[in-house]
Amino acid sequence: MNYVVAPPPVVSIPVAGGADRFPVRRVICVGRNYEAHAREMGRDPSREPPFFFTKPADAIVTETGNVPYPPETKNFHYEMELVVVIGKDGFEIPEDKALDHVFGYTVGIDLTRRDLQLAARDLGRPWDWGKAFDKSAPISPIQPASKIGHPSKGRIWLSVNGAIKQDADIADLIWNVPEVIAFASRSIRLKAGDVIMTGTPAGVGPVVVGDKIEGGVDGVANISITIAPPQK
């Protein structure tokens, strides 16, 4: 095989507790999956079917540390989320078999250019430019389900410069992990390597250069990043 340009490197996330890495195929995100967050976004939190958007695999940042302030926004938001990683392919996965497809869990921040997302939403346009930009998905090392089990409750929190901004429980997910896997796998064939960001609780807000974001899900993982100046 002779590629006409260098093929992109495989994006991967460290697996906690060793040198192994999880190769990423794509990032699937659930929209509005906590009631109080749906309300703060001006939407009805009733239990409408879940909806999804995606980020490219190479939006993932695995080194904790600096994430540059992205271009073309004046309203750059954090969203702390429980992350599920898929270790086994499946299509039309029933809820009671869904956890068999989970390799493990971690946490990530669904970084969002909120001004671009809302403008697109209000015009009926795709969200991609608000959500799927470079370095928009900082993610912590993966905890295998074989070690931590399948968490269904636990505090999910985020602070900016030490002040708590998001504070909820993953038990408050409108659609829980088995339901999300069941729904997503009706529309697409889930594959080993898929990473699912399950949605954020209330309290989203803006950050600026120099802000330190910390957070996590108790019993799963923590994450810490600092917003760096724009990258040229």
Q: Which is nearer to Mn ion, 36 or 100 (CB)?
A: 36
| Residue number with the smallest Cβ distance to Mn ion | 110
**Which tokens go with 35?**
């009631």
Of the candidates 103, 193, 181, 108, which has an alpha carbon nearest to the alpha carbon of residue 144? 103
Q: If binding is defined by CB under 5 A, does position 35 make contact with Mn ion? A: no
Instruction: Please say whether the beta carbons of 227 and 221 come within 8 A.
Output: no
* Residues within window 148-207 making contact with Mn ion, judged by CB under 5 A: 200
Q: Which is nearer to Mn ion, 79 or 194 (CB)?
A: 79
Instruction: Please say whether the beta carbons of 75 and 92 come within 8 A.
Output: no
Q: Which is nearer to Mn ion, 62 or 200 (CB)?
A: 200
Q: If binding is defined by CB under 5 A, does position 79 make contact with Mn ion? A: yes
- Total residues at the site for Mn ion (CB under 5 A)? 3
Of the candidates 64, 62, 52, 67, which has an alpha carbon nearest to the alpha carbon of residue 9? 62
Q: Is 52 exposed, middle or buried (0-12, 13-18, 19+ CB in 10 A)?
A: middle
Site string for Mn ion, 98-137 (x = CB under 5 A): ------------x---------------------------
How many whole angstroms separate alpha carbon 150 and alpha carbon 143? 10
Q: How far is the CB of 218 from Mn ion (least distance, A)?
A: 19
Task: By CB under 5 A, name the binding residues for Mn ion.
Answer: 79, 110, 200
